[in-house]
Every structure is written in C-alpha cells, then in structure tokens.
Amino acid sequence: MRRAQLQALDRQRGSAFARGYDTAWRRLRLVVLGEEPLCRFCRERGVVRAATEVDHIAPIASRPDLRLAQANLRSLCRSCHAALTASGMQRRGGSP
Ligand SMILES: [Zn+2]
C-alpha cells in the first residue's frame, strides 16, 4: 500500500496513538501485505498465491516486544497460516 493511502486512512480513523495499539497493528499489517503481497511459504514452493494473513515469525507469546516489528512479520495465505498454527510451529518458533 502506498504511503499516501495510509495517510488517507490515518485521516479517516485518527492517529494510531488516538485509536490505540490495535490500530497500529492493523496499519502495520497493511504495510506488510503491501510490501509482500504473496504468501511467503507458497512462493518458496514456486506457487503464486495472494497473502491475506500476517504472521509473527517469533510468536507474540515469546517475543511480545517484536509484535510491531516489521522484520518479525511475514505474509501468508489463509491455508498456510492455518497449517502453521495447527502444526504448533508457531509456538516453538521463538524458543531456542
Ligand atoms: Zn500459502
């Protein structure tokens, strides 16, 4: 998503500070999906599929400080995200 669009959204919704933490997350989510519009797991398999979900690489439970760190986020499609969550990889992801 373009910066101008994000700024337009900001003007409609109020600033992230005014609206709280979750607005910051939703906005970051849109940035991630804008910069990485295709599912990362599918792409690694040579499949082109639109991403609809943003996943935390290190789960929030183990690294709450990285919740809004863009480097800790990746775009996934719904089925990859569901499979990841079901496999428990997400919970193990941040542990040494
Ligand atoms: Zn996928």
Task: Summarize pLDDT for 41-57 with one digit per residue, the tens.
Answer: 999 999 999 999 999 99
Quote the CA–CA distance of 33 and 71 in Å, as a whole number: 13
The pLDDT value given to residue 62:
93
Number of compact structural domains in the chain: 1
Beta strands in 1-96 (DSSP E): 53-56, 73-76
> Percent of the chain having pLDDT more than 70?
76
- pTM exceeding 0.95: no
Which residue segment(s) compose the domain that 51 sits in?
Answer: 3-92
The pLDDT value given to residue 96:
38
Flag whether pLDDT at 17 surpasses 60: no
Given a contact cutoff of 8 angstroms between Cβ atoms, the answer to whether 77 and 53 are in contact is yes
Q: Which residues contact 41 (CB under 8 A, 6 or more apart)?
A: 76, 77, 80, 84
For ligand 1, the distance from its centroid to the CA atom of residue 17, given in whole angstroms, is 33
Greater confidence, 74 or 93? 74
For ligand 1, the distance from its centroid to the CA atom of residue 42, given in whole angstroms, is 4
The pLDDT value given to residue 95:
39
